[in-house]
Amino acid sequence: MEKFIETHHEYGLVMVKVRGTEVICLKGDITEVEADAIVNAANQWLKMGGGVAGAILRKGGPSIQEECDRIGYCPVGGAVITGAGKLRARYVIHAVGPRMGEGDEERKLRDAVINSLKLADTYNLTSIAMPAISTGAFGYPLEEAAKVIVTAVIDYLLRENSGLKKVLFVLYDEYAFRVFQRLLEEHPIPSTRA
């Protein structure tokens, strides 16, 4: 029977290996991460203002917003891709998570994560860095959002034949980092079928 998930503890980090893809938590600035794509916690109109989007715009330059303006709109739960301007990444995937209180938040957040991963696979990317989507100005409670995001990533990697080699959860503050790290470490290992 194939072992689908392995957990490694190195240097105080948790890394889970899911069917050959490393899923890792990092504390830091997502705009500085070496990955094929970074995920922007976007709004429906793809206007980059504060939070993660503001940091991406400041460091990546105006070409990212210009591409977003050409796209114009993305529904909640959806994701679109643009170039990454001056960032280390090649692409920015703009994932539109839900605002807390709008209804059906868990499904919408899960869809935003899965659609981001699907875009990465469509573009044959091998690495993607993801923040805590919807937990800033959109008000989604961190613990709840982290459970949805971590589960969506692991389920996708178990279910799909993904070309991703690395999925990074990049959290800016210590508390968010610890929450994601704990949930990744504690994620139940699914039973495998012979």
The angle that helices 51-60 and 62-71 make with each other, rounded to 10 degrees, is 120
Backbone angles phi, psi at 82, to 5 degrees: -135, 175
- Listed by start position, the domains of the chain span 5-11+19-186
Residue 12 pLDDT: 53
Residue 55 pLDDT: 94
d(CA 85, CA 66): 10
Please report where in the chains the tokens 């869809």 appear, as a residue: 111
Residue 186 pLDDT: 87
- The pTM for the full model equals 0.91
Cβ 138 vs Cβ 100: under 8 Å? yes
Residue 185 pLDDT: 87
End-to-end CA distance of the chain: 6
d(CA 117, CA 133): 13
- pLDDT of the chain, 194 residues: tens digit per residue: 233 445 554 445 678 899 999 999 999 999 999 999 999 999 999 999 888 999 999 999 999 999 999 999 999 999 999 999 999 999 999 999 999 999 999 999 999 999 999 999 999 999 999 999 999 999 999 999 999 999 999 999 999 999 999 999 999 999 999 999 999 988 765 533 33
d(CA 155, CA 190): 9
d(CA 89, CA 17): 22
How many residues are there in the chain?
194
Candidates 148, 149, 130, 188; CA nearest to 4 is 188
Both tokens of residue 162? 């993904």
d(CA 28, CA 172): 5
Architecture of domain 5-11+19-186: 3-Layer(aba) Sandwich (3.40)
Cβ 46 vs Cβ 53: under 8 Å? no
